[in-house]
Each structure stands twice: as C-alpha cells, then as structure tokens.
Amino acid sequence: MPKKLITRITHDAFIKEILSDRDAAIAFMETFLPENISTILDLSAFTNDSISFLNKDLKARFADLIFSVPVKETDEKVTVSILIELKSRVDKYIGFQLLEYLALGYRRQIKENKKPQLIIPIIYYHGRNKWEYKGISHFFDNVPKQLNSFIPLFDQIFINLKDKTDTEIQNIKNGLLKTALSIQFMRFIDEIDLSILLSAFASFDPSMNRNYLKPLIVYTISKFNLRNEVFTNFIDELSKDIKTEAMTIAEQLKQEGRQEGRQEGRQEGRQEGLTDKTVEVVVKSHQNGIGTTMISNITGLSEADVLAILKEHLSKNK
C-alpha cells in the first residue's frame, strides 16, 4: 500500500520543507540577506539551530527556522543566529511577536551559559494581500518625544515575494529554491496556463532533488485551481524518469481527496441525523464526568461522533 500523502500542505510548511535542503537554505540566505551582511557571513558553514526556547503554544503555531552562521575573519569565534519567520498572511503585530522570540532566544543562550550571540530576524511573506511592513515604533507615534527612548527598537529584514520580479527569481542559483519560489509566485497569477506551469518547473533537476518532487507536486495540486487539461499536458511534458512518479502522486492525491470527501459526507450525515435529545445526553453525561467511551456505549454513537458533539458544544459556549 502506498504511503499516505499530506494532501493539505500549508504554504509555510511547503517553504520550510524546501529549506530543509542545505543548498536551498544557503541560496535563500544569499538571495535575501543584504549584500553588506551576507558577504561577512560564512553561509556555507551554517548549522540548524534549536527552537526549543519556544513554549508549547508557540511551537504549535510557529513555523520558523533558525540558522547559526559563523562570521568571517573575526579575532574570536563569532556566530549569529538567523531567525526566519514564514508568513502567508498579513500580521501587523509581527514586530511584537519577533520581540518575544528574540527575548526568549537570548534568555536561552544565557541559561546555557553561552555568550549571547546576535539574532537577525527575517520575515518572509508570500501572501496575496498587500503588506506595507511597519515596525514597533509605528504603534507609538503618539508618545511624547521624551519617552521615545523606551520604545523597543531592533532591525529586521522584510521580504515580500510579491514585490520580487521574475528576473530576480530566475537569478537564484539553486534550482530547487528557484522552482519552489516560482511555484509560490503563481499565487499572484489569476490564470495559470501550461507555459506558466512549465516555466515554474523548468529549473527542477530530478537527478539532484528527486526527494522534493513529491512536495512540489502536492503543493501545486493542492494550492492552485488548475484546469485538468493544463495539469495533464504538464505531466506529458515531464521527462520520462519522473513522469510516472508524478502521475502516481497525482492519482494518489485524487484518491485520497475522494476518500476524505466520502468520510466528511458520512460525518455530516451522522451529524444531521442526531436528535436534540441525543446531543443533550452526550453533553450532560460529559458534564457529569462520564468518559467518552461510556457515552458511546450509552448512545450507540461512535466515540468520534461523541468527541465531535462535545467539540461543537464547547466552541458554541466559549
């Protein structure tokens, strides 16, 4: 049985997967770091840093990367951390979020008895909506000048994919990163035809990045409303060594999509068939400390249905 695919890959998870490739990560930093910064860093020697300083809540909702990068030609060994925050939606309060992450990062370094190393925050935004980034100071423009020195200020690098030109993307040296960003850039195109799709995949080299074919295909199918004939013709244009695999991935996605649709339909049917009395029994039993397994036995509902009812009840009463 083929391994189940992730059919609902998020925009952030996609780019994070691509940046798990070492060469793609180096190319990302070479492309988006200002030249006066990238030239003094030994990007080829970077290591993946831990994000264990984030608490459980932040871990659950925060898909960022931290790279530890040595500084070239310093008297003592100096390393900086590059924190990459991935954003698919506008977040005007991101500056405060970064402030918290910076503080947590420096505190972790101190707790580990390390000499604090500088953290450089990068915001990579790849959403459709316009975002004119403004830092923390923007929120305190009504504060008297005498208090300005108390405003927490720090630099960050803001990257808006939508502002990049096709030439800038095509100048990326790494084929995997160029392919991934070209595919993400399709979010800003209203009608995707065969030529656009072929152009996005033109730099993909299966001999170098075969392991990334699956997330590229899954992301393309799941995130873009492609006409069937466009994707079919695209598959036909692929080289023989990856065409079969791409067709298998596409067919598996269709099968899983149909299966999920049937499961959701059955779930909706069960929910519609519930009486108010049954729902009341489930809720009151739970409130009286009865476990979901026992409630399932009492009502004849599956335990999944019991949990769904309780979840819906809790969301309505928040």
Q: Are residues 229 and 216 in the same domain?
A: yes
pLDDT band at residue 1, thresholds of 50, 70 and 90?
A: very low
Mean pLDDT of the 21-31 span: 95
Give tens-digit pLDDT for 162-206. 999 989 999 999 999 999 999 999 999 888 999 999 999 999 998
pLDDT at 266 over 70: no
Q: Are residues 157 and 37 in the same domain?
A: yes
Phi-psi domain of 88 (left: phi exceeds 0; alpha: psi -120 through 50; beta: other): alpha
pLDDT band at residue 158, thresholds of 50, 70 and 90?
A: very high
Q: Are residues 59 and 144 in the same domain?
A: yes
Nearest Cα neighbor of 241 from 196, 210, 217 is 210
Predicted confidence at residue 268, as pLDDT, reads 46
Which are the contacts of 317, defined by CB distance < 8 A and separation ≥ 6? none
On whether residue 104 sits in a domain, the answer given is: yes
Q: Are residues 290 and 260 in the same domain?
A: no
Which are the contacts of 163, defined by CB distance < 8 A and separation ≥ 6? none
On whether residue 81 sits in a domain, the answer given is: yes
Total tally of structural domains belonging to the chain: 3
Q: Are residues 224 and 255 in the same domain?
A: yes
On whether residue 1 sits in a domain, the answer given is: no
On whether residue 4 sits in a domain, the answer given is: no
CA distance 156 to 14: 23
On whether residue 48 sits in a domain, the answer given is: yes
Mean pLDDT of the 66-86 span: 87
Query: How does DSSP classify residue 234?
Result: H
On whether residue 248 sits in a domain, the answer given is: yes
Q: Are residues 287 and 303 in the same domain?
A: yes
Q: Are residues 177 and 268 in the same domain?
A: yes
Q: Which residues constitute the domain of residue 246?
A: 173-273
Length of the chain: 318
CA distance 317 to 314: 5
pLDDT at 145 over 60: yes
On whether residue 13 sits in a domain, the answer given is: no
On whether residue 12 sits in a domain, the answer given is: no
CA distance 70 to 88: 29
Give tens-digit pLDDT for 215-260. 998 898 888 878 888 888 888 888 887 888 888 888 777 766 544 4
Cβ neighbours, 10 Å, residue 231: 19
Predicted confidence at residue 265, as pLDDT, reads 44
Q: Are residues 249 and 291 in the same domain?
A: no
pLDDT band at residue 264, thresholds of 50, 70 and 90?
A: very low
Out of 36-40, 153-157, 272-276, pick the least confident. Answer: 272-276
Helix (H) or strand (E) holding 67: strand 65-70
pLDDT above 70 as % of the chain: 83
Q: Residue 158 corresponds to which tokens in the numbers above?
A: 């803001």
Q: Are residues 58 and 151 in the same domain?
A: yes
Q: Are residues 108 and 123 in the same domain?
A: yes
CA distance 230 to 194: 5
Among the candidates 108, 143, 163, a domain finishes at: 163
Predicted confidence at residue 263, as pLDDT, reads 46
Among the candidates 163, 190, 219, a domain finishes at: 163
Nearest Cα neighbor of 182 from 214, 210, 224 is 224
Q: Where does residue 290 rank: exposed (0-12), middle (13-18), buried (19+ CB within 10 A)?
A: middle
Predicted confidence at residue 311, as pLDDT, reads 78
Predicted confidence at residue 33, as pLDDT, reads 95
Q: Residue 187 corresponds to which tokens in the numbers above?
A: 């979010």
Q: Are residues 268 and 280 in the same domain?
A: no
Q: Are residues 198 and 232 in the same domain?
A: yes
